[in-house]
Chain A
Amino acid sequence: MSPTERTKGEMTDSSGKADPAGGRPRVVVEDATIGYDKRTISDRLSVAIPDGSFTAIIGPNGCGKSTLLRALARVLTPSTGAVLLDGKEISSYKSKEVARRLGLLPQSSLAPDGIRVADLVARGRAPYQNLIHQWRPSDEDAVAAALAATRLTELSGRLVDELSGGQRQRVWVAMLLAQDTPIMLLDEPTTFLDIAHQYELMELFRTFHDEGKTIVCVLHDLNQAARYADHLIVMRDGRIITTGTPHDVITADLVEDVFGLRALVAPDPVTGTPSVIPLDPRTATVRPVEPHDADPNHVSPLPRRQESTR
């Protein structure tokens, strides 16, 4: 069963309670109304996260992507409906129990003054610690592994304040990794990073996915979403417009419909996944040259503005 089929089945069946055991995804949103204080962002939203998927939530600013993710992470509690984790309402679990199954990389976290890398990463072990067992061998192993996976072993004794932005984001990712959850929720993890660090981080998430983790990631960059995710949730105005594989979902019509941007959707020349190239509003009448059927005599496959005056 492909992730898409499963989700579509789930979407139509979201009200039904009698689900065959094991057939239901671990994370399901049922009919949830989510918002802040009095402001409702999403009204009666239903969606499921396919198990083992790399799901990207995309949509314009303020469409409720992060709000949905925060509800999945139980930072926000739906006013109606429910977020289900493994078939039970997420708020009915013990807080630490959820923290062992699902972790969130928030949009911004605060590092205490004067904290060092390894100490901050070690705080990811909190769900496994209690008053008498604060530093078991398993904690140490998990922290060492998280540092190694994020290439921070060399920096483990450094002050977090002294690191670069890219390194610091890797520290927060390492903390999440040390939490050792099968489900990882990432809220715009690449914002504020330069392009090299963005792709470095996305590659890291891909390795986590390859190791069997379910990744749910709010992303702004459609090309990154299409390249790394195998399942997309497209949102606008608090509603889910569509879900599915990048290949099925990302079309010029959808980009124009959801983002109000006229764009060319062409296969990414490197990966073959759909990539979105905005049209130049001043030359939009000219049919853009698509890379694969470009005239071999042309030096550049991309449309040039001068061509419109031809």
Chain B
Amino acid sequence: MNKSSIAFGYRSRTVRNRLFSGRASVRLLTVSAVLFLVAVGLAAVALTHGDYPLTLQQVFATLFGGERGFEWTIVAGWRLPIAIAAVVFGALLGIGGAIFQSLTRNPLGAPDVIGFDAGAYTAVVVTILVIDTRSYWYMASAALIGGMGTAFVVYVLSYRRGIQGFRMIIVGIGVAAMLASVNTYLVSRAELDDALSVGYWGAGSIARVTWAPMIPALVIAAAIVVSAVLLAPAMRRLELGDDAAVTLGTRPGAARLGLIVTGVATVAVVTAAAGPISFIALAAPQVARRLTRSPGVSLLASAAMGAALLSGAHLLSLLIAQAYRPVPVGLITVCLGGGYLIWLLIRETQQRYGLAR
């Protein structure tokens, strides 16, 4: 019945009924579903690891058994928010990366590369050191303001009769470097205790996430996902260039503003709860794109990939903690992502300047 008369060049499924009609690539859906399952699986395995090792059966028995004992406190009270954070924050970072890579039309245009992470982090550090608060709402608001402020500065500095992706990235890298030195300065002037906690937090760790910040974070995350779904069609049209986007019924200014706010919000939520976690936003959309062979970056696949990557990094950090000593998850993503960034930079310069391989 729904046999498509058009050869799209890949397998796709069309769903049509009274309430809904849509078409999607089978490969995109399959890859995204598998990645989400992998993310949840890795997070579940992570529940068993820690100073008090449990088996997977014990974890499930504790979670669904109804007993509220010591193991319940460990699993549901301490480890579960961290495992959820790994999946949800990973997905958020994937969405943020996809949004900015789409806006800049460049695989380097991730919020962590162009300074939005650093801006959010600076604002949070200032909040901790000056206002002396650890309230999640304060930190999240500060992160959002810092991220938006940085986005505004980068946008204005790179505006020359319109925004060109590559210029925005170069300006953003410069702004990120300046903010990094501000962060270092702030930490160096702080009290020892503050400096230690800010420093550890600055490495990007989800290991100390508790339910208190997770609940508001989940609420904001839900809002971000809704906003991303609503803005996704406009994002697709902006990829064709502003003129084409206008002619297809988009208001580029409004759509771009909405996308920037949503993208910065992903960074702000994560930074406020866990500190800056780099390279997930950079790598997830591109790795997902290669797996799904989707045109441009896909929000769904990027979110799934981000979740899988961060859950994987989280589990890895727990394994390292068991074998050696605790390592913040941000350090792992930086190490893995750094290699990826070097490869990406080499490839980009080769393509841009036509250097022979």
In the complex, the answer to whether B10 meets A116 with C-beta atoms within 8 Å is: yes
- CB <8 Å contact, B21 and A134: yes
Given the known interface contacts A113-B295, A114-B295, A158-B9, the answer about A103 and B247 at a Cβ–Cβ threshold of 8 Å is yes
**Across the interface, do B240 and A157 meet the contact criterion of CB distance under 8 Å?**
no
Question: How distant is the Cα of A111 from the Cα of B240 in the complex, in angstroms?
Answer: 6
Chain A neighbourhood of B8, CB < 8 A: 116, 118-119, 156-157
Q: Judging by beta carbons under 8 Å apart, are B4 and A140 in contact?
A: yes
* B184 in contact (CB, < 8 A): no
Say whether A36 contacts B6, CB under 8 Å: no
Q: B229 contacts which chain A residues (CB < 8 A)?
A: 131
The stretch of B112-120, B146-154, B231-239 that contacts the partner chain: B231-239
B-facing residues in A246-263 (Cβ within 8 Å): none
A70 surroundings in chain B (CB, below 8 A): 243
- B249 touches which one: A113, A126, A131, A153 (CB < 8 A)? A126
What CA separation (Å) do A17 and B9 show in the bound complex? 53
Docked complex: A101-125 residues within 8 A CB-CB of B: 102-104, 106-120, 123-124
Q: Is the CB of A119 within 8 A of B243?
A: no
Q: Check B9–A144 contact: CB distance below 8 A.
A: no
Known: A131-B230, A134-B21. A116 touches B247 (CB 8 A): no
The residue of chain B having its C-beta at the shortest distance from the C-beta of A143 within the complex is: B6
Q: Which of A102, A110, A127, A133 contacts B20 (CB 8 A)?
A: A133
Number of interchain pairs (Cβ within 8 Å) = 128
Give the Cβ gap from B345 to chain A, nearest Cβ, in Å. Answer: 18
**Interface residue? A137 (CB, 8 A):** yes
Is A157 in contact with B9, judged by CB distance below 8 angstroms? yes
Shortest Cβ gap from A111 to chain B (Å): 7
Query: Smallest Cβ distance from A219 to chain B, in angstroms?
Result: 18
Q: How many residues on B have C-beta within 8 angstroms of the other chain's C-beta atoms?
A: 38
Q: B69 an interface residue at 8 Å Cβ cutoff?
A: no
Tell me how far the C-beta of A98 lies from the nearest C-beta in chain B, rounded to whole angstroms.
7
Contact A157 B296 (CB under 8 A): no
A124: chain B residues at CB < 8 Å are 248
> B57 within 8 Å of A by Cβ?
no
Is there an interface contact between A106 and B241, defined as CB atoms closer than 8 Å?
A: yes
Shortest B297–chain A CB gap in Å is: 9
Chain B min CB distance to A306 (Å): 47
For the complex, give the distance between the alpha carbons of A239 and B16 in Å. 51
**B296 near A113 (CB under 8 angstroms)?**
yes
The answer to whether the Cβ of A132 comes within 8 Å of any Cβ in the partner chain is yes
Q: A99-B247, A99-B248, A116-B8 are in contact. Are A109 and B23 (CB under 8 A)?
A: no
The answer to whether A109 touches B22 (Cβ under 8 A) is no
Interface centre among B5, B9, B19, B241 (most CB of A within 10 A): B9
Instruction: Report whether A110 and B105 are in contact in the complex, using a CB–CB cutoff of 8 Å.
Output: yes
Type the 1/0 row for B16-31, where 1 means its CB is closer than 8 Å to any CB of A: 1001111100000000
Determine the distance from Cα of A102 to Cα of B249 in the docked complex, in whole angstroms: 10
B163 at interface, CB cutoff 8 A: no
- Whether A135 is near chain B, meaning CB under 8 Å from some CB there, is yes
A133 to B14: give the CA distance in the assembly, Å.
Answer: 12
Pick from A73, A112, A124, A131 the residue with the most CB of B within 10 Å. A112
In the assembled complex, the Cα of A2 lies from the Cα of B105 at a distance in Å of 47
A-B contact pairs, 9 of them (CB 8 A): A73-B246, A98-B249, A106-B247, A107-B243, A123-B240, A140-B5, A156-B7, A156-B8, A179-B247
